[in-house]
Structures are given as C-alpha cells and as structure tokens.
Structure 1
Amino acid sequence: MRQHILVLYLATSALDSDVVGWSRYDGTGRTHPTTGDSDEPPYPTGLAALHDGWRLFQASQLLPPQSGHEYDVSFLKHEFFFEKLEESSRA
C-alpha cells in the first residue's frame, strides 16, 4: 500500500469553508506534486474531500494571535492533512 497525501489550507478552521491553497503528494510515484495541478483546487472544501474518501489525519491547532499581532501576515494557519491508501506495484 502507498499513501497519497492532500494538504488543504482552508479560509477558516471549519471543514466546510473554502479551500484557499493546496498541495498533493503521491507515494505511488505515478504523479509529481506540481504535475497536472491547475488554478482550481481539487475540492471546494475540506468536507468535499471527506465525501470523496480522503481520511483526515491532522488539523492545525487553533492558536489566537498575540496581542498587537492580529493583522500580521504570516503562514496559512488552517491546514488540514488528508490521506488515501492505494495499492502499488512498486516493492
């Protein structure tokens, strides 16, 4: 079995909020992270990925901003990791 990883960055901490960024990684070696990706996210929401069979295995901690830093630009903080397992012919 090989693992497919899908990282979705959502607009809020809710799984039904819009996807604003994403990355994909294919443990089978059949695709590459940047091959075939478009400007459209693979799913409109994290919930849609769950409906398609992806398993959620990690979500970012919800940490409030420090006082005085509420409007600082930084990393995308609503990050969710999903996986699918697939048979692979590789040993």
Structure 2
Amino acid sequence: MNETRQQILFLNLTTPDLKSPVIAWSLYDGAAPADALQMNTGDASVPPYASVLHAMRDGWNVLQVPVLPHYPAGQEHDTGHLPYEYVLERKVAIA
C-alpha cells in the first residue's frame, strides 16, 4: 500500500495572472526525510515552475489565491510584502 504525504508550494508572481512569471518561491515537502533541507527562494536561480499555470499542469492544486491589494492614494509606490502569492499543494507517494 502506497502512503502519501503533502507538499506545499508558495509561488509569488509579478501580477495576479496565473500565467505571469514567478519571482519568489518556497517548497515544503512532507515526503522528504525529516532532516532534509526545504527549498526557498535563492536556493536556485530558476524557480521550480515558470508560472502557477505550469505548476497546475504538473499536478499541483491551487489552495489559495491572493486578495488584490488596495493602495490608498499617495501610497501606490510604497514597498512591502509581495502581493501576488499563490499557495499550491499536491500529494506524493513515499516509499
């Protein structure tokens, strides 16, 4: 009997469009050994997927889409968190 574990993938995009480029990411792999390092932005120069749509085509399920940010007048160019974060998950078999 194959046991499954969950993987969670966070993808930050340049715009809210599911096809827009990934600019930051993190992967938390519940199927990896307990002492394995998890993947974060900066661990690789290329994101694991070019977009959310590419990840969906590889079997990832979208769990959360971003709430579009509201910028009050005069604060349109303030910096802060990355506003277009998608949370994806999938189940993978473990040995």
| Corresponding residue for residue 46 of structure 1 | 52
| 1:5 pairs with 2:8 | yes
Q: Provide the residue aligned with 2:20 in structure 1.
A: 17
Give the deviation of 1:59 after TM superposition: 1.0
Which 4+ residue blocks in structure 1 deviate beyond 4 angstroms?
Answer: none
> Normalized against structure 1, the TM-score is what?
0.87
Matched residue pairs, number?
Answer: 88
The TM-score with structure 2 as length reference comes to 0.84
Aligned-CA RMSD value: 1.6
Amino acid at match of 2:84: H
Query: Letter of the aligned partner of 1:5 in structure 2?
Result: I
Does 2:29 match 1:26?
A: yes
Contact (CA 8 Å) 1:9, 1:79: kept in 2 or not? yes
Residues 12-50 of structure 1: per-residue CA shift (max 9 Å, x gap):
000000000000001123342148x41100011111001
Residue from 58, 62, 66 that aligns with 1:60? 66
- C-alpha displacement at 1:66, in angstroms? 1.4
